[in-house]
Amino acid sequence: MDAISVIRAKRDRGRLTDEQIDWIIDAYTRGEVADEQMSALAMAILLNGMDRAEIARWTAAMIKSGERMDFSSLPRPTSDKHSTGGVGDKITLPLAPLVAACGAAVPQLSGRGLGHTGGTLDKMESIPGWRALLSNDEMMDVLREVGAVICAAGDGLAPADKKLYALRDVTGTVEAIPLIASSIMSKKIAEGTGSLVLDVKVGSGAFMKNIEDARELASTMVGLGTDHGVKTVALLTDMSTPLGLTAGNALEVRESVEVLAGGGPADVVELTVALAREMLTAAGLPDADPARALADGSAMDHWRRMIIAQGGDPDAKLPVAREQHVVTASASGVLTGLDAYAVGVSAWRLGAGRARKEDPVQAGAGIEMHAKPGERVVAGQPLLTLHTDTPEKFDYALAALEGGVTIAPEGTDFTPNPIVLDRIA
């Protein structure tokens, strides 16, 4: 077996054999296949695709490259959620304790933000004392004690994916659906959860800009989960407008706590409850009522216990940026557009995100939104408040917002997109 033969097979639109896939993933993980060779294969996959059997075998080979976790000793059924990433997407924060309050265990292995999309671990690390890095034993202890944990994935889970993901990021092959699907699902299957709900974002602020591509990705991932014995369902959800009224780390934690306290923006509450119902049904708890768990305080109780179990102080003040800048409405009328990508890039430029995985982030940086599409606004009223510790970034952040806010004349009939666009099972 050699790398050139495998590259040529896919370059010439052939189907890779199981043996070729197993060998190339193992050899690349061990360093026997060079980065430039795997880059060529990734580009061939981007251009020529893979069938379902190839993707399933590729995913299995990446799972086999590392360890698999086992939650069978827990007294609760397990269910997890994965989002493909968006702007203002703080859903994991209220969702994990909410599902735990309803009787399931949530082993939520999360990541950090890159570019205009936020990362769950960056948000959580704005809570003083909270730890993302837990050993497997610590993770199990928190799951037994609380029922939910949000933490970083260990290096032992699908190391082939970690190496390949870094390569795709710098070779223009991130968009390959077979590689996206296998990347996400290899980690989630290796994680060992009993069921999985996928939140596949669609729109300007999402990786998938149109619903056809999102549906293809969702169907591929649902198929992979099913093939590996994990009950999997996907919701396609709107990301043309940011979720909630905040984009930024500490800002989004604050909003998540408002949701757990029974308030918060309607779209965040709606999606949190919808995903919770899917997770609970997949875990065999269809009669659990997540809306009640938000209302009666049990979800908040699980949040506080989860934060404390991971070294954090749920009562500590969250970081606040030193400088603010207010953007006002240029005219009166109906707000018909608040582009998620524009807001995400602006928040990133303010310091809420990173360009490289090694970059630091500002916990207090980000954007507050004072109106959402469909609402009437008056000229001069605040639309956005920009937060940063580095005020020299305001002009750069404001440039990203140009064209991202649309105000139509009074009386314009406008209906925002629904939050949940489709369901794939």
| Catalytic residue ranges | 82, 161, 168, 183, 187
CA 11 to chain centre: 32
Strand partners, 408: 334
Considering only CA atoms, which of 140, 179, 141 is closest in space to residue 160? 179
**Structure tokens given for 234:** 């996907």
Q: Is 205 helix (H, G, I), strand (E, B) or coil?
A: coil
Residue 348 φ/ψ, nearest 5 degrees: -60, -45
Instruction: State the Rg of the chain over Cα.
Output: 22
Q: What is d(CA 177, CA 207) in angstroms, rounded to the nearest whole number? A: 11
- Residue 187's Cβ-count burial label (10 Å; 0-12, 13-18, 19+) is buried
Backbone torsions φ then ψ of 284, nearest 5 degrees = 85, 20
- How many whole angstroms separate alpha carbon 385 and alpha carbon 418? 25
CA distance 263 to 249: 19
Angle between helix 394-401 and 340-347 (nearest 10): 170
CA distance 410 to 15: 57
